[in-house]
């Protein structure tokens, strides 16, 4: 943009000199240098913190689906990248062993309940010990708890979607054996209930950014278009400032100025929901400072939006 404005000035100066409206003296000869300095110092450098901009990416939460019970998969009901609602069935594990476990425990409970009744009658007639009644009662309570856990395991043989979203990169098939191990997920579930738009802003330009400020966004995925939004939050930590528990002394390393992450919320929620995870773009944030630079930033963002038709990077 600065090159464009500078070239415009050169063209205007050329026309003024050509038509002899201004004398081509020393002042006008060095005026392009003065104009360049004026543009840099008075406009483009302040624009960095008055209307900062940076690259933006669309992200979504990914849930690694790991079953709560182990067994053989008997049915996979989900299709890759097909929209799902919370609670929709993803796949089923063979329930036969878990049903059998419930039946065994229920039979034991039935017998223990009968024995408890008999012991209670004997204790009431002073023909039995109170200790035996308490022991049978403990067995009944224990079996009830085991049945509750067995029924929970049986219910977990049907694995359901944790939220609205879709399954991607699906490789699970009927006949596969799955395990309830945290390091052995069987599919990746993309949660579409919340869309994250994260922008990287250099630290020197982030000083005046605050939640609620207006923003404009353009996406590579939707070239030539500008969308409005607002600053949702500014993340208060990046990994370079994180300390971790360690048995070692501090290890000095080169300090780099990592950009801060700013989360943007689009004014159109349906648009945010339709954006693919991983879509990239650019954002311009309009702070309460150096408002004269906002117009220039808006023009520059629209130039980027138009160039998105041909610029793949």
pLDDT beyond 80 at 5: no
| Domain tally, the chain | 3
Rounded (10°) CA dihedral 93, 94, 99, 101 = -90
CA distance 269 to 229: 10
Question: In the prediction, which pLDDT does 123 show?
Answer: 65
CA distance 301 to 55: 11
Tens-place pLDDT, residues 186-198: 999 999 888 999 9
Do 28 and 17 meet the contact criterion of CB atoms below 8 Å apart?
yes
One domain for residues 185 and 221: no
Rounded (10°) CA dihedral 63, 275, 91, 173 = -100
Mean pLDDT over 108-136 rounds to 75
Q: What is the DSSP letter of 4?
A: H
Instruction: Give the residue numbers spanning the domain of 197.
Output: 51-60+193-242+250-313
Most confident region among 17-21, 30-34, 284-288 by mean pLDDT: 284-288
Weakest mean pLDDT among 34-38, 58-62, 99-103, 263-267: 34-38
pLDDT beyond 70 at 282: yes
Coil/strand/helix, residue 172: coil
CA distance 270 to 260: 27
pLDDT beyond 90 at 161: yes
Model confidence at 258, pLDDT cuts 50, 70, 90, reads confident
Question: Which of 157, 173, 190 is where one domain is finished?
Answer: 190
Q: When comparing pLDDT for 14 and 72, which is higher?
A: 72
Question: In the prediction, which pLDDT does 251 show?
Answer: 77
**Looking at the DSSP assignment, which residues form a beta bridge with residue 188?**
64, 168
One domain for residues 40 and 93: no
One domain for residues 8 and 107: no
One domain for residues 114 and 214: no
CATH of the domain at 165: 2.40.50.100
Most confident region among 10-14, 29-33, 160-164 by mean pLDDT: 160-164
CATH of the domain at 276: 2.40.30.170
One domain for residues 81 and 131: yes
Query: Could you give phi then psi for residue 39, rounded to 5 degrees?
Result: -65, -45
Question: Which of 146, 162, 190 is where one domain is finished?
Answer: 190
One domain for residues 158 and 203: no
**Cα–chain center distance at 283:** 18
CA distance 203 to 260: 6
Q: Which of 243, 249, 273, 266 is nearest to 164 (CA)?
A: 273
Question: Which of 30, 50, 70 is where one domain is finished?
Answer: 50
CA distance 155 to 56: 42
Most confident region among 73-77, 182-186, 250-254 by mean pLDDT: 73-77
Task: Write the DSSP assignment of 58-111 as a string of letters.
Answer: EEEEEEEE--SS-EEEEEE---TT--B-TT-EEEEE--HHHHHHHHHHHHHHHH
Do 55 and 280 meet the contact criterion of CB atoms below 8 Å apart?
yes
Weakest mean pLDDT among 4-13, 103-112, 138-147, 165-174: 4-13
Q: Which of 284, 117, 125, 302 is nearest to 213 (CA)?
A: 284
The arrangement of strands across the sheet holding 89-93 comes to 158-160, 89-93, 71-76, 177-178
One domain for residues 1 and 81: no
One domain for residues 299 and 201: yes
CA distance 217 to 224: 11
Burial of 247 per CB tally in 10 Å (0-12, 13-18, 19+): exposed
Model confidence at 226, pLDDT cuts 50, 70, 90, reads very high
**Cα–chain center distance at 202:** 21
Question: In the prediction, which pLDDT does 22 show?
Answer: 75
| % of residues, the chain, pLDDT over 90 | 54
Mean pLDDT over 246-253 rounds to 78
One domain for residues 117 and 168: yes
Question: In the prediction, which pLDDT does 19 show?
Answer: 73
pLDDT beyond 60 at 9: no
Mean pLDDT over 166-187 rounds to 90
Weakest mean pLDDT among 28-32, 150-154, 251-255, 277-281: 28-32
Question: In the prediction, which pLDDT does 248 show?
Answer: 79
One domain for residues 130 and 205: no
One domain for residues 89 and 202: no
One domain for residues 94 and 181: yes
The whole-model pTM stands at: 0.73
Q: When comparing pLDDT for 184 and 129, which is higher?
A: 184
């Amino acid at each position: 943009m600065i090159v464009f404005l500078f070239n415009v000035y050169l063209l205007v100066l050329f026309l003024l000199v050509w038509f002899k409206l201004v004398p081509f003296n020393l002042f006008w000869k060095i005026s392009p240098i003065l104009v360049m300095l004026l543009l840099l110092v008075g406009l483009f450098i302040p624009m960095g913190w008055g209307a900062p901009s940076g690259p933006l990416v669309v992200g979504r939460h990914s849930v690694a689906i790991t079953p709560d019970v182990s067994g053989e998969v008997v049915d996979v009901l989900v299709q890759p990248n097909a929209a799902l609602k919370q609670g929709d069935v993803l796949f089923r594990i063979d329930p036969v062993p878990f049903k059998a476990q419930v039946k065994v425990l229920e039979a034991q409970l039935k017998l223990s309940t009968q024995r408890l009744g008999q012991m209670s009658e004997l204790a009431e007639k002073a023909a039995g010990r109170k200790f035996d009644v308490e022991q049978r009662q403990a067995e009944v309570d224990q079996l009830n708890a085991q049945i509750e856990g067995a029924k929970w395991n049986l219910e977990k043989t049907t694995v359901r979607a944790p939220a609205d979203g879709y399954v991607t990169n699906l490789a699970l098939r009927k006949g596969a054996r799955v395990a309830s191990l945290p390091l052995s997920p069987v599919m990746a579930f993309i949660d579409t209930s919340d869309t994250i738009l994260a922008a990287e802003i250099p630290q020197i330009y982030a000083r005046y950014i605050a939640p609620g400020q207006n923003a404009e966004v353009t996406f590579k995925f939707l070239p030539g278009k500008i969308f409005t939004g607002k600053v949702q939050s500014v993340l208060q930590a990046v990994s370079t400032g994180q300390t971790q528990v360690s048995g070692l002394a501090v290890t000095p390393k080169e300090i780099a100025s990592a950009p801060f992450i700013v989360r943007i919320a689009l004014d159109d929620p349906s648009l945010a929901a339709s954006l693919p995870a991983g879509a990239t773009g650019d954002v311009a944030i309009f702070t309460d400072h150096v408002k004269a630079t906002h117009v220039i930033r808006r023009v520059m963002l629209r130039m980027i939006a138009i160039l998105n038709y041909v610029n793949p990077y």
